[in-house]
A and B are shown apart, each in its own frame.
Chain A
Amino acid sequence: GAVVSQHPSWVICKSGTSVKIECRSLDFQATTMFWYRQFPKQSLMLMATSNEGSKATYEQGVEKDKFLINHASLTLSTLTVTSAHPEDSSFYICSAPGSGGAFKSSYEQYFGPGTRLTVT
């Protein structure tokens, strides 16, 4: 159980175009999902928290007009990179919290396999 998928797994786009990345929870519902970005040999940097039925919450320094997040259902969140530039090339990963185990207070994260974006 607790499988998260992402689509596409990799994408190459031209500078100035927009790219949409989908994140789905396959066998559970997720009212919250998280979007991360990871540059080579660096750790995951949280970009935003996606909330089902409401606006996303962006981390400091992340442009909300550039990285559009839509969480239209309990199993799907999308990240659209608008007017992509080469510096947006990165590995984008989403996650959804698990059940919280016995404590129901800290939740392990189930991550998608990631999407490699290359902007030329």
Chain B
Amino acid sequence: SQKIEQNSEALNIQEGKTATLTCNYTNYSPAYLQWYRQDPGRGPVFLLLIRENEKEKRKERLKVTFDTTLKQSLFHITASQPADSATYLCALDMGAAGNKLTFGGGTRVLVKP
């Protein structure tokens, strides 16, 4: 069966450290992978998009890797801040017409001062 797995346990991290989140998928062949941030009671906000032939993408303190052999994406928040506390969702785009996204369950990050 098709699955997208993100660590359902909350990630507690000290301010200034690097948070690393994983997104593993099975029985999918995404052409693109996207990461979103969602705050409680709000809609998700787009962060980064990476293509299947890209190994790594960066945006400010964020870094995403995409390994199609391992079927895994890693999402890093460097120099984390309390304001980074939120739930982070990965989403797969198969590249077919319509651009539908399939979301993982999300990982909650709590950055402690």
Residues of A within 8 A of B (CB): 4, 6, 32, 34, 42-46, 49, 57, 91, 93, 95, 97-98, 101, 103, 105-114, 116
- Whole-angstrom CA separation of A101 from B93 in the bound complex: 15
Q: Please, how many residues of chain B have a CB less than 8 angstroms from a CB on the other chain?
A: 25
Indicate if B28 sits at the interface (CB-CB under 8 A): no
The secondary-structure label for the interface of chain A is: strand
Once the chains bind, are A46 and B49 in contact (CB under 8 Å)?
A: no
A81, chain B: closest CB distance, angstroms: 18
Once the chains bind, are A44 and B99 in contact (CB under 8 Å)?
A: no
Closest to B6 in A: A43
Once the chains bind, are A44 and B98 in contact (CB under 8 Å)?
A: no
Enumerate 17 A-B pairs (CB-CB under 8 Å) in ascending A order.
A34-B101, A43-B89, A43-B104, A43-B106, A46-B101, A46-B102, A49-B98, A93-B43, A95-B43, A106-B31, A107-B93, A108-B34, A108-B46, A108-B49, A109-B46, A110-B46, A111-B36
- Whole-angstrom CA separation of A108 from B45 in the bound complex: 9
Indicate if B82 sits at the interface (CB-CB under 8 A): no
